[in-house]
């Protein structure tokens, strides 16, 4: 017959085992913010379709939950974007004039400031790293590390060689040639000696930084990539690998050792008709 003490020990063991199971860390939340057309020709600046491809690229990463939201959709009307930022661990922007957008509303600006202070991961792609007006450059650089902004900003459409640096975000990536529109001569803080050049591009007989990573003083991480103009490039596995791994790096998540990026079926890259 079981003694009361044995039953008690069994009860405690089962209780602790159950507690341990429920104490597992919840998945980190990545919020990808996109928008509709900004007037560019079809198959360029396809933010919504690109955001969905990015979501599918990261969907099976252990310990990660991915959500894609349109800044022009119902969340804007209901004022939920700041709350969604407050609830996220990582933020990826793929939209038009991101440097201007983050300054567009006080609630968004405050949410991003708090997000950075608590060490959230920040990533921006293509036109999300910039703005036409120079007044938006400095606040964006303070959060993301670099910016394509102001009336003197430079960009060029070309086929060029991208050379990766030795960095966790570029693991498994070899130099590759791609046709894209790249922003270059990006604006940075000259006092920031922690900014790392992730990808270099040959543009006008010089080597320019077109992607970067930055471990911020607040213990968070920021990164950006100035490519992302042509929707066709999402078909390139190295393209999705780099962008996916860079976002995971900002969130301090190890990418899967195998099968990353996942193979997506051909219709995943089709644009809505």
User: For 147-186, what is each residue's pLDDT tens digit?
Assistant: 999 999 999 999 999 999 999 999 999 999 999 999 999 9
Question: What's the mean pLDDT in 40-54?
Answer: 98
Spatial contact of 94 and 51, defined as CB atoms under 8 Å apart = yes
Domain-embedded: residue 23 = no
Range of the domain at 43: 28-269
Cα 222 to the center of its chain, rounded Å: 9
Q: Is 39 left (phi over 0), alpha (psi -120 to 50) or beta?
A: left
Which tokens is 59 given? 């969907």
Domain-embedded: residue 125 = yes
**In this predicted model, what pLDDT tens digit does every residue of 179-228 receive, in sequence order?**
999 999 999 999 999 999 999 999 999 999 999 999 999 999 999 999 99
Q: What is the pLDDT of residue 86?
A: 96
Q: What is the pLDDT of residue 79?
A: 80
Domain-embedded: residue 127 = yes
Q: What is the C-alpha to C-alpha distance for residues 188 and 147, in angstroms, rounded to an integer?
A: 7
- Give the domain CATH number at 239: 3.40.50.880
Domain-embedded: residue 252 = yes
Domain-embedded: residue 38 = yes
Q: In the structure, how many helices (H) and strands (E) does the chain have?
A: 8, 12
Domain-embedded: residue 11 = no
Domain-embedded: residue 161 = yes
pTM: 0.91
Distances (CA, A) of 77 to 66, 70, 153: 22, 11, 32
Domain-embedded: residue 87 = yes
H or E, element range at 139: helix 137-144
Q: What is the C-alpha to C-alpha distance for residues 129 and 23, in angstroms, rounded to an integer?
A: 38
Query: What is the count of structural domains for the chain?
Result: 1
């Amino acid at each position: 017959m079981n003694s009361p003490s044995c039953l008690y020990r069994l009860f405690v063991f089962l209780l602790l085992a159950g507690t341990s199971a429920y104490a597992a860390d919840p998945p980190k939340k990545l919020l990808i913010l996109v928008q509709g057309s900004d007037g560019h020709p079809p198959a360029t600046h396809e933010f919504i379709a690109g955001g969905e491809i990015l979501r599918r690229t990261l969907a099976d990463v252990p310990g990660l939950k991915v959500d894609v939201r349109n800044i022009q959709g119902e969340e804007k009307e209901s004022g939920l974007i700041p709350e969604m930022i407050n609830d996220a661990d990582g933020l990826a922007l793929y939209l038009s004039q991101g440097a201007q957008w983050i300054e567009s509303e006080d609630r968004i600006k405050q949410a991003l400031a708090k997000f950075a202070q608590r060490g959230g991961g920040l990533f921006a792609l293509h036109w999300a790293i910039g703005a036409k007006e120079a007044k938006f450059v400095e606040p964006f650089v303070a959060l993301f590390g670099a910016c394509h902004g102001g009336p003197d900003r430079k960009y060029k459409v070309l086929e060029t060689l991208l050379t990766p640096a030795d960095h966790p975000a570029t693991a498994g990536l070899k130099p590759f040639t791609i046709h894209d529109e790249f922003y270059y001569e990006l604006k940075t803080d000259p006092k920031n000696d922690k900014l790392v050049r992730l990808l270099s591009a040959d543009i006008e007989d010089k080597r320019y930084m077109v992607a970067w990573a930055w471990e911020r003083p607040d213990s968070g991480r920021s990164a950006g990539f100035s490519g992302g103009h042509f929707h066709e490039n999402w078909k390139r596995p190295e393209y999705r690998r780099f962008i996916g791994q860079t976002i995971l790096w900002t969130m301090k998540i190890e990418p899967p050792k195998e099968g990353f990026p996942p193979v997506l079926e051909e219709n995943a890259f089709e644009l809505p008709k």
